[in-house]
Structure 1
Amino acid sequence: MSATNQQHLLRLLVSCRKITAQVTNPATESIIAMASSSEQEFVPHYRTHLNRFPRSHNFWDARIASRVGEKLGFRLKEIGVSDVEINISEELSRPHHHRRLVIPLFDSVKRTGISVSGADKLQI
């Protein structure tokens, strides 16, 4: 599968339990690449947070988000996608504490060589 001239859309699904990043093809709106904190690599981290005292309602952090972004970036490179864009209004509507935690995800996607249009407008 090769990249087209159309911009692929990077969307984040964020909850207190996990963060999922997915890239969709603009023509078909199908998911072409995806990475999530619920993947096998993150299970030990998740389990340690389950039994932690005092209890925390957030099971991921900026480090996990960064690793999810790195995995997504490598998967995008594998299929030949070199740039994606984010919906800036959707990202700006996130609560401030979530926005601060997802910026490392966008930065790690950029470090893999994928251009992320709109991420520079999110800097806090």
Structure 2
Amino acid sequence: MATTNHNHLLRLVLSCRKIIAQVTNPRTESIVAMASSSEQEFAAQYRAKLNRFPRSHNFWDARVASRVGEKLGFRLKEMGISEVDIDTGEELLRPIHHRRMVIPLFDSVKRAGVSVAGAEKLEF
């Protein structure tokens, strides 16, 4: 695992319908903060993509990922968490089109004031 004993681990769960970012405590493996594209803020945009023709197979993009990262970053700052790690091995195994869409999420977390260790290895 790529974490140290004092840093929290940021994990992403991606599907064609939503993106979920969750931060876990390394000692207990419990989720301490979470943000998702299925939150109320994104409901209208999701419905619009669901009902359009021709149908899209992907319901989130880099802009949505960025907003999810921003929300997660603010929640982490409220909790007093200033640094998170990512599992770079797991992120590098993602298809390139997913990596391009989640890099704005990591950038938004950084802009909120939370350091993301390992994200610099994902840049193109």
Q: Scaled by the length of structure 2, what TM-score is found?
A: 0.95
1:8-23 residue pairs with structure 2 within 5 A? 8-23=8-23
Aligned to 1:80: 80
Structure 1 residue 49 and structure 2 residue 49: aligned? yes
Contiguous gaps of at least 5 residues in structure 1? none
Question: What is the SS of the residue equivalent to 1:60?
Answer: coil
Question: What is the SS of the residue equivalent to 2:48?
Answer: helix
Question: What is the SS of the residue equivalent to 2:45?
Answer: helix
1: CA distance between counterparts of 2:82 and 2:107? Answer: 15
| 2:37 aligned partner, one-letter code | S
| 1:77 aligned partner, one-letter code | K
1:54-69 residue pairs with structure 2 within 5 A? 54-69=54-69
- The structural deviation recorded for 1:53 is 1.4
Contiguous gaps of at least 5 residues in structure 2? none
2: CA distance between counterparts of 1:73 and 1:115? Answer: 9
Runs of 4+ in structure 1 deviating by more than 4 angstroms, as ranges, are none
- The structural deviation recorded for 1:107 is 0.2
2: CA distance between counterparts of 1:92 and 1:45? Answer: 29
- The structural deviation recorded for 1:57 is 0.4
Aligned to 1:119: 119
2: CA distance between counterparts of 1:42 and 1:70? Answer: 14
> Across the two proteins, how many residue pairs are aligned to each other?
120
Percent identity among equivalent residues?
76
| 1:101 aligned partner, one-letter code | M
Aligned residues: CA RMSD: 0.7
2: CA distance between counterparts of 1:48 and 1:119? Answer: 32
- The structural deviation recorded for 1:76 is 0.2
- The structural deviation recorded for 1:52 is 1.1
Aligned to 2:38: 38
| 2:102 aligned partner, one-letter code | V
